[in-house]
Chains A and B, each alone.
Chain A
Amino acid sequence: MFLPLLVVKNAFRHKLRTVLTLAGIVVAITAFGLLRTIVDAWYAGANASSSARLVTRSSVSLVFPLPLTYAPKIRQVEGVRSVSWASWFGGVYVSERNFFPQFAIDAPTYLDMYPEFVLSPAERKAFLTDRKGAVVGRKLAEQYGWKVGDQIPLRGTIYTGTWTFNLRGIYDGAEKGTDQSTMYFHWDLLNETVKKLYPRRGDQTGVFVVQLRDPAQAAEVSAAIDSMFRNSLAETLTETEKAFQLSFVAMTETILLAIQAVSFVVILIIMAVMANTMAMTVRERGSEYATLKALGFSDGFVGGLIFAESIGIALLGGLAGIALTVPIANAFREQMGTLFPIFFVSDETMLMQTGAAALVGVVAAAFPAWRTARLRIIDGLRAVA
């Protein structure tokens, strides 16, 4: 009973210093957690993808479309349950700052393939029957204050002109990780207009989405689809939805690596601050530790006291930091709107935060504890704080 009390009393002897150190650790651990969450958010699209879906695109690059005539051919491949298709629209809503993804989809097949987009039967029917209809995710609708029945004008960057859509439904995500910041409308509408403007670019789509009967067959089915179109004018590249999403993440990997590196720098900063606190504390208490040693307590015991104090402060700050991370992450998600559609603190992040806090405590105590252990009793007793 005596030992923990001694550690706590020691820790709070200099209240101001301990409180300041605690505040520093809280800030650092919170910042660390938020940065890891930003990195997680980048990968969120890939993590939310289904293993039972493949994406087929042009092997040259996404800029090149595929002919729609591929759809029935892909459907015939062994192991394919259904095929749908989607095209990136790239429209601008009012100003370039309002970025959100828009896809022209073959709605009946696409919605069946993505059960995670939850749409009420009435809204679904309204969307399917309106050629100029569109559906958007809940978050997107909230960000711009759209209600069902509103008209949404988009200025096309790839397909010229202003396109106006009728909002027919707002979908919810079935899971926490489902993207709710995308707009979908009818591919048929896009195709009709494109055919009128540029006849040669009609009946083409950006990607095909392929639903598998058995996710285990992903590799065989991908190979079968790609070999079917080899040496054609539009060769294909088929990969799982996850691999497709990860290829986007990989493009900005350098930035992700930088954020990750920076998230460790904040731990280093707080390590320096904490080590400074412990060094000062231990220096001031030289005579006390010498007294303890003179009374017969071992070097290990004195070292243990220092470690316990340092780790205790670090963990206390760390826990407060973790507790703060969640509400701040939520506020951040509200602020950023659709830029980071999926943003929540994972269990893994919290574990890493705890680990980082403990590490800070250990490292900060190491040098002072070593110095105290080597301290000669006579020097310690002579020292004046």
Chain B
Amino acid sequence: MIKYPGEHYWPGYLGNVFVILAFVCALAAALCYFLSTRSRDEAENWRKLGRQFFYVHSLSIAGIICTLFWMIWHHMYEYYYVWEHSSNSMPMKYIFACFWEGQEGSFLLWAFWHVVLGNILIRKSKDWEAPVMTTFALVQTFLASMLLGIYISGYHFGSNPFTVLTREFPQFANMPFVKTVVIENGEKVNHYLEHLDGRGLNPLLQNYWMTIHPPTLFLGFASTLVPFAFAIAGLWTRRYKEWQKPALPWAFFGVMILGTGILMGGAWAYEALSFGGFWAWDPVENSSLVPWLTFVGGAHVMLINRNKGSSLFFTFFLIILTFILVLYSTFLTRSGILGSTSVHSFTDLGLMQPLLIYLLFFIGLALVVFVNEKKWNLIYTGIAATCFLAGTLFGFYKEGLALFLLASVGMGYLGARNFPGEKEETESMWSREFWMFIGALILLLSCFQVTFVTSFPVINKLFGTSFAIGAEGAIKAYNRWQVPFALIIMLLIAVSQYFKYKKTDPKEFYRRMSFTFFVSLALSLTASYLFNWFQFSVKLEYAFLLFACLFAILSNLSYWLDILKGKLDHAGASIAHAGFGLLLLGALLSTSRSQVISQNYKNDVSFLGKDYSNEENILLLRNDTMRMGNYYVTYLGKDKEGIRIRYKVEYMKKDSLTGKFDSLFTLTPFIQLNDRMGNAAEPDTRHFLFKDVYTHITFPGTAPEEMDFSGDYGEPHNSKVKPGDTIFTNNSIMVYEGMQPLTDTSGLRGRKDSVAVGAKLKIFDFYGKIRNVMPVYTLVGNSPKVSETVVDELGLKIAFWNVLPDENRIEISFSEKKMNRNDFIVMKAVVFPFINVLWTGCIIMIIGTVLAIRHRLKRA
């Protein structure tokens, strides 16, 4: 390996020592905790040792993180990760964003949260520590291995954040744009680092969302591990019920954090990306939603089990599935398998195999503790090992995978058969647990539907098929199932609190439900009538969903106010459920009633077929005023600020009496110049209490690279005109009205042989404002003298430079500022009504969940 001057090696060595230490200590901690769980006499010693290893592991993870931050802070571009994700010009407020922009950094973030949660559990989980921390340490072993970046029999295993740039790409330092040769002591030395700048953080990610969204989401992912580890521990030590007590608050904590993380992603998409909404059923969005659905189901089934003792199997199933789905999501989004189907999938860094192994390992682990019989476990482990070897060493991927999955199904069957008997007791339909169970089933089905459709790329890879779903098709494919599922969930949320555990009196139930039922029925009927939803059978489901949302909100509120007497102690669930109802209500209203107002009135394209009339874009010339929905809009011009080209769009309303335009607000959507992802349009949104007006540029008149903000004038255009002729410029119309001899030739004092004529021009701009100008043509003797007339507001320069008396014409030339050229935009504007209901619901849901967790911790 060639060394170059200026490269720092110690941070890399240090970082790699931490990586290896983190990996080895996690493995050792897992082993010690494992032995502690198994051993009778030495349990305490092993546990202590395991704890020490986990502490060292925690410190190592912290060490990796600090080292990487240090390197980014000091712009050490000799390191690949630093060069790739940061640059000199990047403001340091984005240091967090650039830290977790890449795969390695986001794995570190995830590992960091596991370390935090693990350390809390070491302190709090008492006799559960050893079995729970075994799983934690195992997960950390896998995560740390992703950072090793070593080669095992030809496979690149993981991706190391401390890779030296010139080692990964030996030719890099000799590339012409970095090579800096200096003669030192008669020898040529390449100081390539001297002028090297990093590639920088993707401009699209340079906003505060990138600072807050990933940590929240990863804390959510990390917190699915806690109930999972407890569930595994419960199966392993055959304490099938006791594990739930410590795990339950964690489950709801995780539901809250993961839900918040997902919604932050939605808010980011809505605020800063030109998705045109907060949810697009994008595969990456889906893969964070899917574990949340089972997590919600699992947490609620835990409540059933705690209160009534049934549905034990289902509890294990959902909690374990949640973590497995987190791993599956990780596999989907980071292995590169999604390819072009998603706007924000990671690129393939050779993580496909490790991630798959990671996923399959934990499926296997769950099944082993589930069956918990030595004989079968040995057979299964044997099969799994064979499949692993067949897949990795001999290339029998599909065969190995198929055999493993077959064996896993077998294990699942065995485990279910031998699962400690649940009381075979049919639940009454008049009990809360029955309907909670149904709710969890619906969530599971909903999760299955999303997973299945999102997994098309995986199915294609496995079976050689070529299924695909288009962007618009996807929304239909998901909504047709998810809307009815949401409807059932909402109805269940509305009624289930009014059911008591075990047995409910039907009369009492009807009496309590009827008021909110009829109020929400009346409200939703009225609203649906006003929205014209009854006229289309497709929209009928909106009407049903609207009713269900209102019913859920009102009955949870009334449960809180009426039955709980407005006390906050037990109100967590009611408030959280009402919040969730509001959230879905907001989603329903804003999506179903959203209105693309930027229709193209001028050009009829409907003859192309109704499927294709994608009339969502409007063309605006500069200073041209067009009607758009209830507004009139004018494109006022553009300016450049850093990497942003900002377009000023004024929204106005027309006074019906005077016909004058009154300015309402101005939006500045912009185009971000992004050499990494291509230029990206970012929207601007005006928020009102009851609606949002959302605007983004779909096409800039001039390509951003060719725009000129210098104020220079372009090529002159020449026209021969006779009186009454019109000359068109980019943003005005000039009418030539005729010549006028000028007697005042004061500028030419003393010259009797001078003649001057003016050309009377009337200039109309797109505001309707009229300017009269008169460029002058002078003859001094026989030589013409031309002066230019400048109209600053229009960026226009006019010269009258020749008279053609025979044709009764004159010659006029004009030139315009270059920035005027093609100065138009094509933009899209959407009105989202009631989107604030969605955000309010989100906040109320979080408050409710916090109350519920607090209450549960107080009772514990």
Tell whether A pairs with B.
no
Using a CB–CB distance below 8 Å, which chain A residues touch chain B? none
Binding site for A on B (CB under 8 A): none
